[in-house]
Amino acid sequence: MAIKMVINADFPKEKISKNIYGHFAEHLGRCIYGGFWVGKDSPIPNTDGIRIDVVEALKKVDIPVLRWPGGCFADEYHWRDGIGPYEDRPKTINTHWGGVVEDNSFGTHEFFHLCELLGADPYICGNVGSGTIQEMREWIEYITFDGPSSLAELRKANGREKPWKLPYFGVGNESWGCGGNMRPEYYADLYRRYSTYVRNFSDNRIYKIACGASDFDFRWTEVLMREAGRFMDGLSLHYYTVPGDWSNKGSATEFDEREWFVTMKKTLVMDDLITRHSSIMDYYDPEKRVGLIVDEWGTWYDVEPGTNPGFLYQQNTLRDALVAGINLNIFNNHCDRVHMANLAQTVNVLQAMILTEGERMVLTPTYHVFYMYKVHQNSRLLPVEIENSQYSYKDDSIPQVSVSSSKDDQNRIHISLCNLDPNSYAHISCELRGADKSNVSGTILTADQMNVHNTFDEPDKIEPVEFHGASIAGNSLDIKLPPKSVVVLTLE
Ligand code: AHR
């Protein structure tokens, strides 16, 4: 039986912030070192030490914002270690991620240069766990002050005359865990204190993001909104899709339908989480001034066999593409409250967009979903009603189709759809209300097997191709979604 769907094209809602398509890069494993940064003397083609291939690939998905330097790493990072001549930078220990030596060759100047090359806004996460207020304040002055202070002079002496723009700043990361094991009451007070000194120097204006909850910790959101809501612009939320449990998360590539189903089911939890955290925020902030910033999300599996367990390197299959598509649909549909989201993590870590090995680079299925979905960036959300069918596995079931829709400033309508069922087509009969469109085109990402992925030897095994399964007649749109697929349609 066909699934019935209605798109209300004449009732565009809020703008889907382009920042929902944001990313996260931590000093973790080979994300920064090897992933983004190879150093100026590397034989791998680079611009001042930054890989050209990775930058070019991320520009193609219109990467809007990049969060750095962590993660857990942020709460042990001291920015002064990462400025000045390389040979003078101290060697420190990355205690969270493998205990490896951090030579600090990628620091503030390198990060801002990377953002400039990408055309992305910088989002820095500051150190509350083990850093001082003074250190945090001075970092911001060093970056943004357009005047003759000693810190601005130091920046100039290190090669950057003009200040940079720093639009987003996070006050600590996971302060309930690796960022200091705090209680929400204590962190709320600390947030109020630290954030006071997150200054707007010169004409820079900072959107301040407080550390928010993980998963179902609604009490954290409640306390933070009650005690500190008026001092923040954004409140974060972290949620990872882990098919197993934390001691046995499951393989990224070797899985059966049971694990596929569980992964889909667990990733759909994001919708419920956002709804419930948002409703607490609504109570304290009915105008929805404070954004929910989902600044860590994605799949987390066991590391690839034979790799450093502290480096969180995992492969990325069609299953991850579905996870990406489903979450991006969820964020789009909650764009009244979700103002930014940052996939963890951009290169070589967790649900990566890109994998590298020496000079080689491969684009993952997740990357392809971000490419297909970029049409939603800054478009207006269109309300979609759906009478969904169910994807059943054994005695459990979940909705078969995930969807979101938007209208761009050229009046084109975009519809992104995921068929979660690996065995059955979804036949959708869609009524388009309030729009007169005569042409439908689209792209699809799918494969024969659930675990198909790109490798360095076969980098193009899975990539988007033209989709011919949709037709339009009058205001009726007919769509035949293949099993386990992600499809993006454009109506003109
Ligand atoms: O993304 C990996 C880690 O997950 C981050 O460092 C931390 O914030 C979270 O627990």
* pLDDT single digits (tens) 247-291: 999 999 999 999 999 999 999 999 999 999 999 999 999 999 999
pLDDT, average across residues 88-114: 97
Name the average pLDDT for the chain: 97
Q: What is the DSSP string of 95-108?
A: TTTTTEEE---S-H
For residue 10, what pLDDT is reported?
A: 93
The residues annotated with a catalytic role in the active site are: 174, 296
Q: In what order do the strands lie in the sheet with 440-445?
A: 380-382, 401-407, 413-419, 485-491, 440-445, 465-466
- What atom of ligand 1 comes closest to residue 350's alpha carbon? 1
Residue partners of 35: CB distance under 8 A and separation at least 6:
25, 51, 54, 346, 347, 348, 349, 354, 356
CB 248 within 8 A of CB 302: yes
- What atom of ligand 1 comes closest to residue 73's alpha carbon? 6
Please indicate, yes or no, whether the overall pTM of this predicted structure exceeds 0.85.
Answer: yes
CA-CA distance, 205 to 65, in Å (whole number)? 16
Residue nearest to atom 8 of ligand 1 (CA): 71
Residue 177 has, within 13 A of its CA and on its CB side, a CA count of 14
Percent of the chain whose predicted confidence (pLDDT) is above 70: 100
Continuous H helices in 233-317: 257-284
Q: What is the DSSP string of 354-416?
A: EEEETTEEEE-HHHHHHHHHGGGTTPEEE-EEEE--EEEETTEEEESEEEEEEE-TTS-EEEE
- What atom of ligand 1 comes closest to residue 74's alpha carbon? 6
Give the single-character DSSP code of 304: P
* pLDDT single digits (tens) 196-245: 999 999 999 999 999 999 999 999 999 999 999 999 999 999 999 999 99
Residue partners of 201: CB distance under 8 A and separation at least 6:
140, 141, 144, 145, 146, 147, 163
Residue nearest to atom 7 of ligand 1 (CA): 71
User: Residue 1 above 80 pLDDT?
Assistant: no
Report how far ligand 1's centroid is from the alpha carbon of 23 (Å).
Answer: 13
SS3 121: strand
CA-CA distance, 314 to 323, in Å (whole number)? 15
SS3 8: strand
* pLDDT single digits (tens) 408-445: 999 999 999 999 999 999 999 999 999 999 999 999 99
Report how far ligand 1's centroid is from the alpha carbon of 215 (Å).
Answer: 13
For residue 319, what pLDDT is reported?
A: 98
SS3 350: coil
Pick from 450, 472, 156, 162: nearest CA to 316:
450
pLDDT, average across residues 2-7: 96
The secondary structure of 262-282, three-state, reads HHHHHHHHHHHHHHHHHHHHH
Residue nearest to atom 9 of ligand 1 (CA): 71
Report how far ligand 1's centroid is from the alpha carbon of 142 (Å).
Answer: 27
Question: How many angstroms from the chain centroid is the CA of residue 486?
Answer: 18
C-alpha torsion sign, points 297, 299, 301, 303: negative
Report how far ligand 1's centroid is from the alpha carbon of 31 (Å).
Answer: 13
Pick from 67, 47, 35, 29: nearest CA to 353:
35
**371: its two tokens:** 């490419």
Tell me how crowded residue 367 is: count the other CB atoms within 10 A of its CB.
25
- What atom of ligand 1 comes closest to residue 96's alpha carbon? 6
* pLDDT single digits (tens) 125-141: 999 999 999 999 999 99
- Around ligand 1, the residues with Cβ closer than 6 Å are 26, 70-72, 173-174, 296, 344-345, 350
Tell me how crowded residue 90 is: count the other CB atoms within 10 A of its CB.
11
* pLDDT single digits (tens) 347-375: 999 999 999 999 999 999 999 999 999 99
Query: What are the E-state strand segments in 141-262?
Result: 168-171, 207-214, 234-241
Report how far ligand 1's centroid is from the alpha carbon of 72 (Å).
Answer: 6
For residues 445-483, b (16+ Cβ closer than 10 Å) or e, as one string? bbbeebbbbbeeeeeeebebeebebbebeebebebbbbb
